[in-house]
């Protein structure tokens, strides 16, 4: 079973990386062809290496990241060629070049991997002799690679909105499971269900971070890609869904901690369970709206009805003060979910009855 799961994970990882691999291969071939056939450089290794380094296989495919990587490596190579031109090649020259490039790369970028990549390219410049009679050819190769990498980001996009959609579904499914456990905790006075709900909701933060990175990358690429620009309204709508899911997960983590403590008295709370379940259904409908926009009206209608009933006296008229506090905690959650449907926040707050 473990081997089968590992193979599935490896296969999924390979399939998800396929668009990035194709992009890198095509861009590298183009960079090599321009430097070799158009500019006449006999062995443009730097053009290929910088293209690969600039694009990378990371989730973040934003043009700004590609530009920063290409610019930083190009600066490192240029500095190396200048230093080699001044001090020549040798053991102590390698030390000087690596010291200067590593230091400047760390100033330029907070990413340690970026400094290492720049240093590797610089070491190649110092150690491997360049073409005879040609000056700063590798700097030009690096510039070619940077331009090609940026063009590939726009013209051969990795479809980052597909990554964002996958992360969105994972997050909404995890939040839905967490809410379901909290509902079971209240309905059955099951402390273990409350613990399970809290554990599930705590696992949502990495999913939120992953969706945020994918969504920011997708929006940045769509702005410059003629093939993805039409997706911008859909991606900006997903920003609203992300905010709703993030806030809902935070609210529900707090609620799960409270309910886990609350049910230790062994008393079932079906009224509280029902209202939490309805809010969970609203949350689920918001997630469904991303795939089917027509569902949006259903989410708003349901959440509007719930918000109008959210008073302690209406939900738990004879409840203990701790029960009343749970109802009060649900009010901002209802507002955040209504905002997630596109309702202005002032209008959402106005739906809540006075306490």
Q: Are residues 328 and 184 in the same domain?
A: yes
Torsion of CA 203, 205, 210, 211, to 10 degrees: 110
Q: Are residues 169 and 140 in the same domain?
A: no
Q: Are residues 28 and 123 in the same domain?
A: yes
Q: Are residues 70 and 151 in the same domain?
A: yes
**The domain boundary residue, chosen from 155, 174, 202:** 155
Q: Are residues 38 and 180 in the same domain?
A: no
**The domain boundary residue, chosen from 155, 184, 210:** 155
Q: Are residues 125 and 201 in the same domain?
A: no
Q: Are residues 122 and 186 in the same domain?
A: no
How many domains is the chain partitioned into structurally? 2
Q: What is the pTM of this model?
A: 0.74
Q: Are residues 204 and 106 in the same domain?
A: no
Q: Are residues 27 and 107 in the same domain?
A: yes
| pLDDT (0 to 100) of residue 75 | 81
Query: Would residue 136 be called left, alpha or beta, if left means φ above 0 and alpha means ψ between -120 and 50 degrees?
Result: left
| pLDDT (0 to 100) of residue 85 | 80
**The domain boundary residue, chosen from 120, 155, 190:** 155
| pLDDT (0 to 100) of residue 279 | 93
CATH number at residue 165: 1.20.58
Q: Are residues 151 and 19 in the same domain?
A: yes
Establish how many alpha carbons lie within 13 A of residue 320's alpha carbon, considering only the half-sphere containing its beta carbon: 7
Residues 6 or more apart whose CB falls under 8 angstroms from that of 148 comprise 27, 30, 31, 34, 51
Range of the domain at 86: 2-155
| pLDDT (0 to 100) of residue 43 | 83
Grouped pLDDT means (10 residues each) for the chain, 355 residues: 68 77 92 91 86 80 81 82 81 86 81 78 79 71 91 81 80 91 92 90 90 85 84 86 88 89 87 92 88 79 91 81 87 92 91 85
| pLDDT (0 to 100) of residue 305 | 93
DSSP string, 113-180: HHHHHHHHHHHHHHHS---TT-SSHHHHHHHHHHHHHHHHHHHS---HHHHHHHHHHHHHHHHHHHHH
Q: Are residues 99 and 207 in the same domain?
A: no
Q: Are residues 335 and 213 in the same domain?
A: yes
> Among 290, 89, 268, which Cα is nearest to 173's?
290
Please give the span between the terminal C-alpha atoms of the chain, in angstroms, as a whole number.
Answer: 54
């Amino acid at each position: 079973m473990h081997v089968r799961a590992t193979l599935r994970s490896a296969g999924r990882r390979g399939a998800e990386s396929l668009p990035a691999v194709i992009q890198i291969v095509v861009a590298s071939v183009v960079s090599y062809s321009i430097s070799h056939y158009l500019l006449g450089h006999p062995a443009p290794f730097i053009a290929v290496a910088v293209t690969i380094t600039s694009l990378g296989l990371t989730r973040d495919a934003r043009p700004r990241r590609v530009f920063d990587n290409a610019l930083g490596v190009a600066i490192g190579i240029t500095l190396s060629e200048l230093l080699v031109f001044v001090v020549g090649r040798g053991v102590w020259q390698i030390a000087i070049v690596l010291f200067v490039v590593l230091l400047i790369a760390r100033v330029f970028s907070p990413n340690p991997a970026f400094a290492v990549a720049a240093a590797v390219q610089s070491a190649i410049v110092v150690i491997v002799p360049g073409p005879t009679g040609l000056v700063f050819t590798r700097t030009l190769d690096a510039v070619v690679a940077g331009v090609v990498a940026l063009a590939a980001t726009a013209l051969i996009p990795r479809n980052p909105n597909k990554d964002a959609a996958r992360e969105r579904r994972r997050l909404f499914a995890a939040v839905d499971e967490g809410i379901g456990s909290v509902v079971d905790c209240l309905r059955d006075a099951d402390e273990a269900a409350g613990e399970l709900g809290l554990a599930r909701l705590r696992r949502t933060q990495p999913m939120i971070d992953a969706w945020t990175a994918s969504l920011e990358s997708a929006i940045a690429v769509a702005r410059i890609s003629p093939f993805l620009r039409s997706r911008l309204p859909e991606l900006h709508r997903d920003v609203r869904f992300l905010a709703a899911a993030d806030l809902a997960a935070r609210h529900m983590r707090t609620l799960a901690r409270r309910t886990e403590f609350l049910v230790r008295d062994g008393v079932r709370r079906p009224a509280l369970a029902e209202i939490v379940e309805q809010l969970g259904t609203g949350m689920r409908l918001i997630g469904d709206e991303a795939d089917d926009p027509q569902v949006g009206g259903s989410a708003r209608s349901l959440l509007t009805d719930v918000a109008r009933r959210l008073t302690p006296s209406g939900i738990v008229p004879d409840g203990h003060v701790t029960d009343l506090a749970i109802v009060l905690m649900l009010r901002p959650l209802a507002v955040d979910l209504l905002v997630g449907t596109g309702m202005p926040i002032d209008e959402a707050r106005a739906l809540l009855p006075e306490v």
